[in-house]
Amino acid sequence: MSVSDPVPVSDADSVPLPPSLDVRGLAYAYPDGHQALFGVDLTVARGERVALLGPNGAGKTTLVLHLNGILTAGAGTVAVAGLPVERRNLAEIRRRVGIVFQDPDDQLFMPTVREDVAFGPAASGLRGAELEARVVAALRQVGMAEYADRPPHHLSFGQRRRVAVATVLAMEPEILVLDEPSSNLDPASRRELADILRSLDITVLMVTHDLPYALELCPRAVVLSEGVIAADGPTGALLSDDQLMRAHRLELPFGFNPATVRAPSGAA
């Protein structure tokens, strides 16, 4: 969201809504002394789709693990939709931040697709018709409603990834965090997932090494390198900056020219 864009406001009282994600001065060192983050500042507005880019070891996973309280900041703050990521708020934070892992099999463990998608809302206390409606809605969003009674292990990899997305959507999160969403997908599955992500009215933070996919889906990109934000701007502009790309070990596929690709417009 540019400085000229209107600030989202609530319909009830016209009070500006807080951003989906607000990270201020986030620093973190692991118990062995390795410093992974050195003061990250990142704001993601409601409805934005943002790509989080960077080489291996840049701190991307460490940053993501702070968003739902798996890791606790050594310094700085993290807030999701205005709610501080603190111990007393963890149950609500983990509902608001839905993380889709790189391997869908890390999220699918129930006998049927329906049970996998129902697991989170049921654990939060949802029951009966309300739970069923939540499951059906999530599966419809990813085009998997007709597979509700199938065992997940009978599905293709691309279908399992879509079900993994549904398990998160069923929690009605504030922000959807995707870890390498295009990895191991064939071209058709890759396109289907892109269509789904574009259709969602939700904030998306996409962690990826797939730079063309980032350009296709995310109007904005952030480069995390050596534990700090090294660049933040329009995805096409960052990918076209040869000096920036070389400095942070980001490589485009052979022959891919971001200047010839029509960039996505606006938020989801």
Query: How do the domains of the chain map onto residue ranges?
Result: 21-109+173-260
CATH code: domain 21-109+173-260 is 3.40.50.300
**What confidence score (pLDDT) does residue 222 get?**
98
Question: Residue 141: CB partners within 8 Å, gap ≥ 6?
Answer: 166, 169, 196, 199, 200
The tokens for 113 are 């697709």
Q: Is the model more confident about 55 or about 2? A: 55
**What confidence score (pLDDT) does residue 12 get?**
52
**What confidence score (pLDDT) does residue 260 get?**
81
Residue 159 has pLDDT above 90, yes or no: yes
**What confidence score (pLDDT) does residue 265 get?**
62
Q: What pLDDT band is residue 267 in, cutting at 50, 70 and 90?
A: very low
User: Backbone phi, then psi, for 176, in 5-degree steps?
Assistant: -105, 120
**What confidence score (pLDDT) does residue 139 get?**
97
- Give me the mean pLDDT over the 10-37 stretch: 87
- Give the predicted TM-score (pTM) of the model: 0.89
**What confidence score (pLDDT) does residue 15 get?**
72
Low-confidence winner among 6-10, 20-24, 146-150, 186-190 (lowest mean pLDDT):
6-10
- Work out the number of other CB atoms within 10 angstroms of the CB of residue 122: 15
- Give me the mean pLDDT over the 182-194 stretch: 94
**What confidence score (pLDDT) does residue 16 get?**
80
**What confidence score (pLDDT) does residue 9 get?**
52
Q: How far apart are CA 268 and CA 255, in angstroms?
A: 28
Residue 99 has pLDDT above 50, yes or no: yes
**What confidence score (pLDDT) does residue 17 get?**
85
**To the nearest whole number, what is the mean pLDDT of the chain?**
91
**What confidence score (pLDDT) does residue 263 get?**
64
